[in-house]
Amino acid sequence: MKVYFDNAATTAIDVQVLDLQYELQRKYYGNASSIHQLGRETKVIIENARTTVARLLNVSPSEIFFTSGGTESINTLVAGVVNQLKPLSIITSKIEHPAMLQSLTTQAHQSGCVLQFLEINAKGIINLDHLESLLQSWNGAQVLISLMHVNNELGNLLPLKKVSELAQKYHALFMCDTVQSIGKYPLDLGAISVDFAVGSAHKFHGPKGIGLMYINRKNAIAPLLLGGTQERNMRAGTENFANIAALAKALELAYSDMENHLNHVQQLKKHLIDRITAELPNITFNGNTEGFPYILNLGIPKTEHNEMILMNLDIQGIYLSGGSACSSGTLKPSHVMEALGLAERCRPLRVSFSKYNTLEEVDYLVDVLKKY
Ligand SMILES: Cc1ncc(COP(=O)(O)O)c(C=O)c1O
């Protein structure tokens, strides 16, 4: 049996998305910046995709910019916000994705703005009272809050509405790394006060190497990539029109059946928790299990026998990660596990589901885990 439980790292492309991508690549090749008909054809494909994405996220098409993925979106936004909007402080957490943490650290260091980390509890839940007291202490000066919607290792879900209300109350900018939630979890950017958000198609059954950034129209920032005037001067470089259309198609498919997929993975997660609680009581759950249904982080008690557990699971056809994607397949403790003080205590196993997983696969995982 082959079981793919590493969907937080990346997902399999949906065949409908792949078919569209292939068909578009076959039919069209014009450069969207060319003013002749072939260029205009690809330009229309891009703008239609932007309209679709904007409709699904409930924002204006002028607030959506296509990029090469989550990492580029985050780097662009952080550099733009720090350099143009000049916050005196950035409030974040130690369990953000490395793309965010490294961008924030580098930009804060270069600009001299203060980087402040919020208190988190043993489950990785952010202390919102601490957030409010830090916001208060800046007394109206420009502050940037950068917190992720779904933690990619733990599956913790940020109380997005509460954070956005605090941002509004203290006139702070709010950047949300929504890479894990866009396309999997309802996200109405028009209804909440978020200034910047990001998405990556390969997390929701789209192609790799294509993503988006949302920039609320109140904010104007400069691009990271310089050159042509593509993406209304926000991202130079010839657009990958087929990937852009594929991203929009993948998002459309995700939104058309989101509730069913959420219910399905919730059922898988509950079944895994129930079986582990009953049959493998030594295994703990890292993070807040009440969070995002697509991710469950298991803490395997350390023994000499299970040092190579990831590799052994791999041999038995079960593919998952120990920490985040970058540490996938290695035993190096992730910065998230270190921040929670869990690195020494257990071997983390992140099980991340998709719409394609089944209860039989969950049963197979539990049966194999019993050997360790
Ligand atoms: C929370 C989060 N942010 C950012 C990224 C980076 O996205 P990409 O792989 O599209 O560069 C990831 C990918 O693992 C992620 O999980």
Q: What distance in Å separates the CA atoms of residue 114 and residue 191, rounded to the nearest whole number?
A: 30
pTM, 2 dp:
0.96
Atom of ligand 1 nearest to the CA of 324: 14
Contact 151, 296 (CB under 8 A): no
| CB half-sphere exposure, 318, CA atoms < 13 A | 23
Q: Give 179 Cα–ligand 1 centroid separation in angstroms.
A: 6
How far apart CA 74 and CA 77 sit, in angstroms, is: 5
* Token pair of 2 as six digits: 């082959």
**Atom number of ligand 1 nearest to Cα 211:** 10
Angle 66-72-75 from CA coordinates, rounded to 5° = 125
Testing ligand 1's pocket by substitution, the residue of 71, 92, 151, 212 carrying the most ligand atoms inside 8 A of its CB is: 71
- Does residue 331 carry a pLDDT above 70? no
Q: Nearest residue CA, atom 15 of ligand 1?
A: 179
Q: What percent of the chain has pLDDT over 70?
A: 97
* CB neighbours of residue 100 within 10 Å: 24
pLDDT, tens digit, 9 for 90 and up, residues 174-202: 999 999 999 999 999 999 999 999 999 99
Ligand 1 close to Cβ of residue 309 (< 6 A): no
Specify which residues 145 forms β-bridges with. Answer: 91, 174
What DSSP designation does 84 have?
I
Tell me what the mean pLDDT of segment 109-130 comes to. Answer: 97
- What pLDDT band is residue 372 in, cutting at 50, 70 and 90? confident
Placement of tokens 């590799």 in the chain = 311
- In Å, how far are 31, 151, 207, 225 from 154, measured between CA atoms? 41, 6, 24, 32
Structure tokens at 169: 């109350």
- Using CA atoms, how far apart are residues 196 and 5, in angstroms rounded to an integer? 30
Q: How far is CA 115 from the centre of its chain?
A: 22
Cβ of 103 below 6 Å from ligand 1: no
Q: How many CB atoms lie within 10 A of CB 315?
A: 10
Ligand 1 pocket test, candidate residues 96, 102, 146, 152, most atoms within 8 A of CB:
152
What per-residue confidence (pLDDT) applies to 332?
Answer: 67
Q: Which ligand 1 atom is nearest residue 8's CA?
A: 16
3-state DSSP assignment of residue 73: helix
Is the per-residue pLDDT at 107 higher than 60? Answer: yes
Determine contact, residues 58/192, Cβ cutoff 8 Å: no
**Of all protein residues, whose CA lies closest to atom 7 belonging to ligand 1?**
70
What the block records as the tokens of 54 is 């904007």
Q: Please report which confidence band the pLDDT of residue 323 belongs to, taking 50, 70 and 90 as the band edges.
A: low
> How many Cβ atoms are within 10 Å of 332's Cβ, its own excluded?
12
User: Residue 277's CB: how many other CB atoms inside 10 A?
Assistant: 11
Q: Which of 352, 354, 273, 295 is nearest to 156 (CA)?
A: 295
pLDDT category at 259 given cuts 50, 70, 90 is very high
Q: Which residues are catalytic?
A: 326
Ligand 1 pocket, 76 CB below 6 A?
no
* Res 249 pLDDT > 90: yes
Those residues whose C-beta lies under 8 Å from the C-beta of residue 169, and which sit 6 or more positions away, are 135
Cα-to-centroid distance, 15 and ligand 1 (Å): 22
Could you tell me the two tokens for 60?
Answer: 């204006």
